[in-house]
Structure 1
Amino acid sequence: MIVAAIAAASIGQVFDGALLIVIFATSGAIEALVTQRTADSVTNLLSLAPEQATRLTRNITGDDLEVIDTAELRIGDLIPVRPGERIGGDGVVMEGISEVDQAAMTGESVPVRRTPGQDVLFGTVNGTGSLTVRITSPASESVVARMVSLVAEASETKSTRALFVEQVEQRYSLGVVIAALIVFALPLALREDFRDSLLRAITFMIVASPCAVVLSTMPPLLAAIANAARHGILIKSATVMESMGRTQLVAFDKTGTLTEGAPVVTKVTPAADRSTEDVLTLAAAVEQHSEHPLGGAVVRAARANVIPTTGFRALPGRGVEGVIEGQLVRVIQASDEHEDTIGTVVEVFVDEHLAGTITLEDALRPDATATVARTGAITSHPVHLLTGDNRRTAADIASRTGITEVHSRLLPTEKAATVRRLEDDGIQVLLVGDGVNDAPALASATVGIAMGRHGSDLALETADAVVIRDDLSTIPSAIELSRTAHRFIVANLIIAGTFIAVLVFWDLIATLPLPLAVAGHEGSTVIVGLNGLRLLRARAWR
């Protein structure tokens, strides 16, 4: 544009050259505003977080209150939250009952009731009651911080389509320069006026430049990423957002994904020489070091003090083991002998001798059935269930959620192999999981989504997206948002291509005024940018 402005001024079109610079600068400012709005929509969440919090320290002489920066809060700290205050960190309510306004974080239109044992989020607003909250993650690892960090990383990536457009743009730009030289030289060779030939070439170079085409792809994707983050699902890159819309099949893990991930012990069957308490105590001693929800349920059921264990080792997809008073204790998933049992059965072995079995059941998430139905309706293949549980339990969950394709008793490698087999058949799979055993399958799928609240660190690291508040309904919404972004990109490319074609044709067969050429070119750039920005609106999320 600078070259075109200088060339216009050199042939006496000083006003047109100056106007070109003004319009170009104005367009650039609007483009920058469009891009910044996408980032601001999420980073502005940081302004919701309070800078200070009151830390409560309890001792034998009474309670001490200390006002500190929220960045100094550590896991386990207690903070009192008075009515109307913002909560200073992600945590769990220890005392009090209140309603918390989470609209800015989760999009919930009304405050939600919070009682002891329930989670609260950094930056949300306490209602009329007083709460005492125990911090569960430092400020740098809060939901807000993770949202800002992941969206910032996603904003720095480019989608496959954007990279393709940029590659084409490099060759196209060279072609425009060569074509502009021809547009200038050919009429000149036919004895047309030099000034008219140069002005036509300048105009051609302006209207044929692909600025609007280049801007057609990233704003819709980045706006969609920001909108999804506001509703609790973090997309790690523009490529992932683009890929989600091409999902043909969605597969769910069971425990911690379709279910609450907080199973309870329903039955303990000891061996002849053991008691129920003995079996639970041995299992809990080993499971206290496990990250799996089943292990936590066993520990909770034991109730009494858990005895120490050495030599703990996880057996991926099978269970855990450890040494207790010189004896090797293994807690592993039961064999096919328990296929008729609804729930998950684990066997407790002491030095390879069966000490007993423990049966656990897990509650189905309230939104699981509706999410499966909606997901199946928007994809071309039925929803699949991939689980390590026995066939009876898997069939029970499948029947309650409406899933028809069930794969049970899968080891982690078998889950990944099942996903790869579907991918090899040309089916683009989106897998939803939460545990260490899901990580290989998450990596194998076209898109892997981890349940963020209780998901393992490995699953969160491996996944392409994270459901930050474990709301399953965000998954089909994100797929539909990705498809909407794709439609916006196509519309943008059509708009940009139409403007270029019309203006180039006008310039070649008639006289296109330079100011109108600049207005048309820059106007198309602004239009596609603003069109992409529409995906930031709340109603774009369904």
Structure 2
Amino acid sequence: MPSVLLQRPGRPVPAAAATVPRRRTRVFAVAEARWAGAAVALFLIALPLQLTGVPAWAWGPLYAAAYLTGGWEPAREGVRALRDRTLDVDLLMIVAAIGAAAIGQVMDGALLIVIFATSGALESLATARTQDAVRGLLDLAPTTATRLGGDGAEETVATAHLAVGDIILIRPGERVGADGRVLDGTGEVDQATITGEPLPVVKEAGDEVFAGTLNGTGALRVRVERDASDSVIARIVAMVEEASATKAPTQLFIEKIEQRYSLGMVAATLAVFAIPLGFGGDLTSSLLRAMTFMIVASPCAVVLATMPPLLSAIATAGRHGVLVKSAVVMERLAQVDAVALDKTGTLTEGTPRVTDVRPLPGSDLTEGGLLALAAAAEHPSEHPLARAVVDAARARGLTIPAAVGFASAPGIGVRVRVDGRTIAVGAPARLPGDATGATSAQASEAASEAVREVEEGGRTAVLVQRDGVPVGVLGIADRLRPDAAATVASLAALTGRTPMLVTGDNPRAAARLAAEAGITDVRAGLLPQDKVAAVREQETAGRRVLVVGDGVNDAPALAAAHTGIAMGRAGSDLALETADAVIVRDELATVPTVIALARMARRLVVQNLVIAGVFLSGLVVWDLVGHLPLPLGVLGHEGSTVVVGLNGLRLLRDAAWNRAATTERTTERSRA
């Protein structure tokens, strides 16, 4: 396996141990949420009191308290921005709320405060949760390790204190404490968190192991080759954070537009008031025209043109098992023109299953007899392959014979006694034979041929021996999801190109699954940074890539992609937090449907922008060139807002999801 080098020249990765202020971010986010919750509660108490005619002394203080609890944080941020000579939307919101209260619209101002404070608190909580999930990945690596001295003495030390060249001992069931290379010993290491491989990998002298992976059987002596700050786990965290930060320019662009628009609105309103007044206009009429201009030029309809379609699409997708985390994500889904799919747990079910049962000629065993014999040997084992064999036997209703004398050899297999005969089940290349003679030679030759056929088909071969003579071969593989092929075809039709398969699994297994699913572009044997490189290669070619995955090893690619979707049922916490959307019910077929729904939402956004633009420009021109009565200006402004709002809510109906699914299938058939 190739060495993992993720660090860019000149950019050191922060140490894994040191100094992530995990509690500080969450504490502030929780505090902000509590203040917002208090503002909401006060508003909900005051509103019915006001509407039922209770005197103002009863509900007025409640509104005032809502202003304070919900407004102090945005007011502080607005003042800070003002000190930096920028006009922040927080400050404009506070000014608008105070202005509303000054003219007697206390409830309207309180509603502004409540909405703004709530949205800010939700954003802070989401950010804190994502940061905790990313940094929580570091917890996969153990905090201590057993270091061996020159005289073989064992010493328990903190993994952060391990240095390159130290020798550590990894016992069965322990997690590897540092990235390194095996000096001696044999073990089966579960490294799904790094490579996504569904089955444990045999590690022997010379093989590389990674911090945080789990040693299942066998003891290993490992020489440390990287500091804790350079481990694969630490670098995955760094990559996720770096890739997530690349999305910041979009947010900065939005803030820049908000700043310019806010300044433009203030300047234009002052000009509309001052210019007529400077030419001898009446103070009252000039003020009235300026107020009318401020109302009709307000971009409420433009803002509402975008959000309702996207939020409606989010709600509809959520009802059908797809959690889209924000309106920005829904918009990005509409832009996708290339897809990269993980294999294990995404295209496949993620559980090894017996696919082949091949009794060898002359073994006198049927398929059922061979499978029952193998299940008897594997029954005491906790290995994933063993569970697959036992599950297959039970699924066929076979009676599993009793076995005694169970023995397991890491990386080789298991051995038991059944009805007085020795049964061995394990890796064909490692399982020794005990018998000799022509019969054994013929059986060995037949076994070699069966193993070759199974492995060439991309499946894991398991050899079954009886008294040292091969009697059968089992094939085990992960199974393709039932809807995988149809999903691949639909994605190809929507994006104009067949999805790409990116997996850490071996090339033969990947090629077999890809052929079944209809994928031609296969990238196998990839580590996390290799998946990121494959995604960036596509994006360098000008494509907007959607990555669909489920594991920790997929998280950097999910973060680096234009859009990332995680499989929810078996997805790792990091993948679920890093992804922009989550398929809650693990229904792969919903991926093309949600893309089609996002494109429907984008079309509605364009329609709404046209409607809003026509209304806004018409009313502004009317006010500047002619005389637009204030009530008519309010009616036109609010009317356009209502129109675009109702138009955007069309996607709330279940019919929208069904129409998206129909559109996706129609596109697939038309391209076929």
Q: Which has the higher contact order (CA 8 A, sep 6+)?
A: 1
Asked if 1:397 corresponds to 2:513, the answer is yes
Q: Which residue of 296, 300, 307 maps to 2:391?
A: 300
Equivalences for residues 74-473 of structure 1 within 5 A? 164-165=253-254, 167-267=256-356, 287-288=382-383, 296-298=387-389, 300=391, 341-345=456-460, 359-473=475-589
User: Deviations 1:259-304 (Å, cap 9, x if unpaired)?
Assistant: 333432245899xxxx99998788777755x6xxx67525635877
Unpaired stretches in structure 2, ≥5 consecutive residues:
1-92, 123-246, 360-369, 395-399, 416-425, 431-450, 464-469, 661-672
Q: Alpha carbon RMSD of aligned pairs, Å?
A: 5.1
User: Deviations 1:221-267 (Å, cap 9, x if unpaired)?
Assistant: 22221111101111223332222222121122233322333432245
Would you say the 8 A contact 1:344–1:361 is kept in 2?
yes
Would you say the 8 A contact 2:458–2:511 is kept in 1?
no
What is the identity, as a one-letter code, of the residue corresponding to 1:227? T
Deviation at 1:528, TM superposition (A): 2.6
Would you say the 8 A contact 2:302–2:612 is kept in 1?
yes
User: Deviations 1:94-144 (Å, cap 9, x if unpaired)?
Assistant: xxxxxxxxxxxxxxxxxxxxxxxxxxxxxxxxxxxxxxxxxxxxxxxxxxx
Deviation at 1:438, TM superposition (A): 3.4
Who is 2:606 aligned against?
490
**Structure 2: how far apart are the matches of 1:486 and 1:230?**
20
1:178 is paired with a residue whose SS is helix
What is the identity, as a one-letter code, of the residue corresponding to 2:490? R
Rg (Cα) greater in structure: 2
What is the identity, as a one-letter code, of the residue corresponding to 1:242? E
1:215 is paired with a residue whose SS is helix
2:339 is paired with a residue whose SS is strand
**Structure 2: how far apart are the matches of 1:2 and 1:323?**
72
Deviation at 1:435, TM superposition (A): 3.8
Would you say the 8 A contact 1:284–1:302 is kept in 2?
no
What is the identity, as a one-letter code, of the residue corresponding to 1:477? T
Would you say the 8 A contact 1:503–1:517 is kept in 2?
yes
Deviation at 1:347, TM superposition (A): 7.5
Deviation at 1:478, TM superposition (A): 0.8
Would you say the 8 A contact 1:342–1:361 is kept in 2?
no
**Structure 1: how far apart are the matches of 2:329 and 2:272?**
42
Aligned residue pairs total: 387
What is the identity, as a one-letter code, of the residue corresponding to 1:184? F
Deviation at 1:171, TM superposition (A): 2.7
1:216 is paired with a residue whose SS is helix
**Structure 2: how far apart are the matches of 1:512 and 1:338?**
83
User: Deviations 1:345-376 (Å, cap 9, x if unpaired)?
Assistant: 2679xxxxxx9986313443332222111111
Structure 1 residues 400 and 528: CA distance shift in structure 2, 3 A: same
Structure 1 residues 525 and 297: CA distance shift in structure 2, 3 A: same
What is the identity, as a one-letter code, of the residue corresponding to 1:244? L
Deviation at 1:321, TM superposition (A): 11
**Structure 2: how far apart are the matches of 1:458 and 1:4?**
40
2:621 is paired with a residue whose SS is helix
**Structure 1: how far apart are the matches of 2:96 and 2:631?**
12
Unpaired stretches in structure 1, ≥5 consecutive residues:
11-16, 40-157, 314-319, 325-330, 349-354
**Structure 2: how far apart are the matches of 1:422 and 1:306?**
54
Structure 1 residues 268 and 297: CA distance shift in structure 2, 3 A: same
Deviation at 1:340, TM superposition (A): 5.3
Who is 2:634 aligned against?
518
Would you say the 8 A contact 1:165–1:213 is kept in 2?
no
Would you say the 8 A contact 1:334–1:347 is kept in 2?
no
